[in-house]
Amino acid sequence: MNDINPVDQIHPDSLDDIKLASHSDNSRFRSKVWEEFTPVYVEGRIQGAECLHCHKRLSADKGRSHLNRHTQTCPARGETGINHKGPFSPSSAPSFKSGVQDELSPALTNGKVQIAEYASKLLKVNSSVDKTPQSQHILALPARDNMTKEQNASSTHAAPDVSTSKFDQETSYQELIRMVVLHGYPLSIVEHEEMKRFAKSLNPLFNMASSIDVEEYSTLLYQKEKADLKEKIAALSSRRISLSASIWAPHGAEPTVKYICLTAHFIDAEWRLQRKIIKFGVFWSLPTDLERMILHKEACVLDSESGPYNVIAEAISDWNLDNNLFSLISVSEIRNHEGTTKLKDMLIQKNSLPIRGELYNIACVDDVLNNIVSKGQSMLHLVDNILERFMLAHAYSSLTQQQLFEAVTNMGLKCPQEDAKWWHKIYFRLEVVLHCKKAFPSEELLPAEDYKVVESICKILRAFYHAIEVISGPVCPTANVYFNELWKVRTTLQEEASTDHTEVASMVREMQEAFHEYWENSYLWLSIPIVLDPRFKITFIEFRLKRAFGAEAAKYVAAVREIIRELFHEYCGPVDKGVHTSNNEARDVEMDGFDSDSLEDWDQHLSAQSRSQRLSELDNYLEDGLVPRKDDFDILNWWMIHSTKYPTLSVMAQDVLAMPSSALHCKAAFSSEGPVIHRQWSTLNIKTIEALVCTQDWIR
């Protein structure tokens, strides 16, 4: 006999065709045997019984004597305790205000919930299947094991089992909270009548949570996830954490409050790059925002609780990062704030920052690139005129609208959103113009001079777009990527500066000046990850800086060498510190005013030997040959494999390569609004917003 899939044999039908259990069937439940069993329905009639203790299925359509015998011999009956006063017992189960209440009532017994009759009103066995005993299917909750041998003794053919899990209110709540948080739904969605009806249609026993419940459960989930992440970061005891800080604002009208979002960047124990939001606080708010006070039911945020100094300092303390900080990347609004400078001075005094805070409060790269592009805003009128001529020419050409859409689709470039930055929109339109020229060479939509300008400006904007896309992409890049992406921008500007178009050349020179100023201030931290890339090392830095600084390159290369060694010395610090202490103790030991053994020379020898051995690790790495360049090269995997050969340098490489260059995700980096809080969340108090934003990031 072929196996029949019960799911394939069930289909929805009208309620009128379903034969329900009659009211007289309720008399069957007067027997005390039903205190030990849960009834199982088949097409509206009782055909089986499930033991509440061992969960065996027995037939129940031809008498109850064998059920009594089972209760006397059930091996699990003495071990289980059935709570008849549970949350879903008959006294506490919700009533169903519908026409099927009588048919369902027998199933609400012994703390178990049966909704077979409810399901049978919506489903029936396919009429094309022969209604023999073996093709009749049990529709019941809960359903576990197949009918036992005792059932087979009274019935030749056993019915197939349709397994389904028991209803759990707590689990349902957890899934509901995760859905609301993950997708940024308003907390009040649970109070919408449509949502309540939908949930009841899935399971009439589910009690919908209130918005207050959702807020409380979200906080509990936040606390749980935070504890897990704290434990994960604490396990990296010998490692340092990099931070990035960005500004968020409520979506919509002119904001009366701005938030600071602090993200931790690190490489975990499995050598995977991690990016996790660890703090969300108030950066600035209007003290006279009465409406916000009323909506949030909270007092104005005090100056002592807002601003970068207070928010970042609180996060450092809360996450125990006092001695584990490596770098801070921030957007200009935070970077130029006096509170950020004040915090840097305080951390330097506490010796909490490596290499004298050189890597603290670095400018966000995409922020800088956007500012450099803005230098070309004077060219906007020229580009607008060209684009206008293109659209007019297209309107009078033989090209259809559909052909234009197909050409744009084949570009493989995403169309900018409505809130995209002005230059991103212009770049996209210029790419469309060039792609149409390539796709339809016979159509003369623009004169040659216009195409030349389009190609030049598009090439510049393409370099900026690609750099920001890589640096701020959804997949976190390692820090060795940044130098090359910025070098491409520099090279493009250098090439286009020689154009014979006066206005374009003038725009490029302004961009070059801004880029050179940034490069002068940032080449040092950008070079460190390149030195720790085994494909390039210091040789590549020498090669590039000679092109960047010409005859003065030697002093810039020397600065890179010096900061690499200084940073490495700090990672070798504990051993050197111990030797230094022993030297002091040896010098302090005197006997009757005379040096006891005068072993200072020996201690100095050991100190020099230890230092030499430590430094040889860095020297050996720099002197070893370069690794061949390959497209699939995984730098984290390389350092993990070579961590035994370079134990100290590999720890340093982990911290350096985790260093971010952007505080924004790609979408926000190209948006004129920047990162925004969901409109439905912005009316909550700051603690709830922090819980939602952080948890959403952690459970993605």
* Cα first-last separation, the chain: 47
Distance CA 122, CA 104 (A): 14
pLDDT along the chain (700 residues), means of 10: 40 34 47 80 72 82 77 73 38 35 33 36 37 34 37 42 64 91 92 92 88 92 96 90 93 79 95 96 74 57 72 95 94 92 93 93 92 85 86 80 80 84 91 87 84 92 94 89 96 91 89 94 96 96 93 94 94 54 44 58 75 79 94 95 94 97 87 83 88 94
Q: Which two three-digit tokens encode residue 681? A: 């969340």
SS3 string of 515-543? HHHHHHHHHHHHHHHHHCCCCCHHHHHHH
Distance CA 144, CA 52 (A): 11
- What's the predicted TM-score (pTM) here? 0.71
Distance CA 422, CA 671 (A): 9
Q: Which two three-digit tokens encode residue 689? A: 């917003």
Q: What is the SS3 assignment for 263?
A: strand
Cβ atoms of 481 and 469 closer than 8 Å: no
Cβ atoms within 10 A of the Cβ of 221, count?
Answer: 19
Distance CA 179, CA 558 (A): 54
What pLDDT does residue 255 have? Answer: 73
What pLDDT does residue 240 have? Answer: 95
Distance CA 349, CA 353 (A): 9
Cβ atoms of 225 and 219 closer than 8 Å: no
Contacts of 188 (CB under 8 A, 6+ apart): 211, 680
Bridge-partner residues for 363, per DSSP?
330
Instruction: Report the length, in residues, of the chain.
Output: 700
Strands (E), 408-554: none
- Domain boundaries defined on the chain: 34-72, 215-364+658-699, 365-533
Distance CA 678, CA 250 (A): 7
Distances (CA, A) of 37 to 46, 136, 162, 403: 12, 21, 18, 69
What pLDDT does residue 503 have? Answer: 86
Pairing of strands 45-51, 37-42: antiparallel
Distances (CA, A) of 499 to 39, 496, 548, 593: 86, 6, 20, 81
Q: Which two three-digit tokens encode residue 352? A: 């909490």
Omega within 30 of 0 (cis) for the link into 142? yes
Distance CA 653, CA 277 (A): 22
What pLDDT does residue 464 have? Answer: 95
Cβ atoms of 51 and 36 closer than 8 Å: yes
Bridge-partner residues for 420, per DSSP?
671
What pLDDT does residue 42 have? Answer: 66
Distance CA 135, CA 158 (A): 9
What pLDDT does residue 443 have? Answer: 79
Q: Can you tell me which residue has the tokens 């030697």?
A: 554
Q: Which two three-digit tokens encode residue 557? A: 């290369």
